[in-house]
Amino acid sequence: MKSKGITVKGIPYMTGAHVYNEVYLDDVHIPSKYIVGQENEGWAVVNVLAGFERSNIDIVMGLVRGLEEIVEFCNANNLSKDPLIRNRLGDIACSIEAVRTLSYYVADQQNRNEMGLMDAAAVKIFSSELLEKYAQIQSDILGPFGIVKSSPWAKMRGTAEYNYQACFVPIVSMGTNEIQRNIIAWYGLGLPRMK
Ligand SMILES: Cc1cc2nc3c(=O)[nH]c(=O)nc-3n(C[C@H](O)[C@H](O)[C@H](O)COP(=O)(O)OP(=O)(O)OC[C@H]3O[C@@H](n4cnc5c(N)ncnc54)[C@H](O)[C@@H]3O)c2cc1C
């Protein structure tokens, strides 16, 4: 990152967070001893990295914790007997358990150096769309508390406000979910590749 020709420009989120940057590489020269993998085989390296990024176990475990916290919130706030809330929580709990199992399967493949491109793409789609669903449920259940982030009135550590604004991110980043579905169709199911 200290090489001549590298420029980093921050991309602030509308939430005020700074997580991402634009990185410009202008005529940057790197000694050949730093090549990762083989010369002209960079795409294979990128594919493995993309698989790691898409396997998203951090999002999955965030969902597991989020579900525990929202159940606690409902129990503590006289909401746990509402049939609509019970129905939505029961529904998302099934999906969270399924994606947790799938993400452990992918982590196990990675641990054995058997990178499953299709399975990583499947976790990416499943977990990102669940995060969006979770953010919607969390914000519906918290009501006005859901828009409060850092104040004594904030519930669930103020996460609802952030989740609601940022839950679209994993649907787009790491390659959009439409592209992941294309990868699954081609690479996983053997359908013809789209140009
Ligand atoms: C918060 C965030 C963080 C990011 N972080 C990084 C990062 O760290 N590094 C990095 O390199 N990039 C990063 N990106 C960029 C991200 O990978 C791209 O935005 C993403 O891959 C989509 O590409 P695009 O924006 O060019 O959309 P496009 O490719 O122009 O797609 C536009 C729309 O058309 C659809 N579409 C496009 N082609 C097809 C097709 N063949 N079939 C069906 N539908 C299609 C897409 O699904 C999408 O809905 C980030 C993006 C976001 C939002």
Interval 89-136: pLDDT, tens = 999 999 999 999 999 999 999 999 887 788 999 999 999 999 999 999
Nearest CA to ligand 1 atom 37: 179
Name the residue type at position 50: A
Question: What integer pLDDT is reported at residue 115 of this predicted model?
Answer: 77
Q: Please list every protein residue whose CB sits less than 6 Å from any atom of ligand 1.
A: 20, 169, 172-173, 175-176, 178-179, 182, 194
Q: What is the pLDDT of residues 52-70, one digit of tens each?
A: 999 999 999 999 999 999 9
Round the average pLDDT of the chain to a whole number and report it.
93
pLDDT (mean) for 33-62: 92
- Token pair 């590489």 is found at 25
Nearest CA to ligand 1 atom 15: 173
103 Cβ contact list (under 8 Å, min separation 6)? 55, 56, 57, 60, 123, 127
pLDDT (mean) for 163-185: 94
Q: What percent of the chain has pLDDT above 70?
A: 100
Two structure tokens written together for 102: 């799938």
With 90 as the cut, is the pLDDT of residue 47 above it? no
Q: What percent of the chain has pLDDT above 90?
A: 78
89-97 long-range contacts (CB < 8 A, ≥24 apart) are 89/137, 92/67, 92/130, 92/133, 92/134, 92/137, 93/67, 95/126, 95/130, 95/133, 96/60, 96/63, 96/64, 96/67, 96/130, 96/134
- Token pair 């004594």 is found at 152
- Nearest partner of 85 among 15, 134, 137, judged by Cα: 137
Give, to the nearest 10 degrees, the angle between helix 42-55 and helix 83-111.
150
Q: Tell me the CA–centroid distance for residue 164 and ligand 1, in Å.
A: 20
With 90 as the cut, is the pLDDT of residue 176 above it? yes
Q: Which of 21, 178, 183 is the pocket-test mutation for ligand 1 (most atoms within 8 Å of CB)?
A: 178
Q: Tell me the CA–centroid distance for residue 35 and ligand 1, in Å.
A: 27
With 90 as the cut, is the pLDDT of residue 3 above it? yes
pLDDT (mean) for 166-185: 94
Two structure tokens written together for 87: 């129905």
Question: What integer pLDDT is reported at residue 127 of this predicted model?
Answer: 97
With 80 as the cut, is the pLDDT of residue 15 above it? no
User: Cα–Cα–Cα angle for 182, 165, 63, nearest 5°?
Assistant: 70
Question: What integer pLDDT is reported at residue 14 of this predicted model?
Answer: 79
Nearest CA to ligand 1 atom 14: 173
Which superfamily is assigned to 42-188 in CATH?
Butyryl-CoA Dehydrogenase, subunit A, domain 3 (1.20.140.10)
Q: What single DSSP character describes residue 175?
A: S
Single pTM value for the model = 0.90
Nearest CA to ligand 1 atom 44: 178
Two structure tokens written together for 136: 């919607």
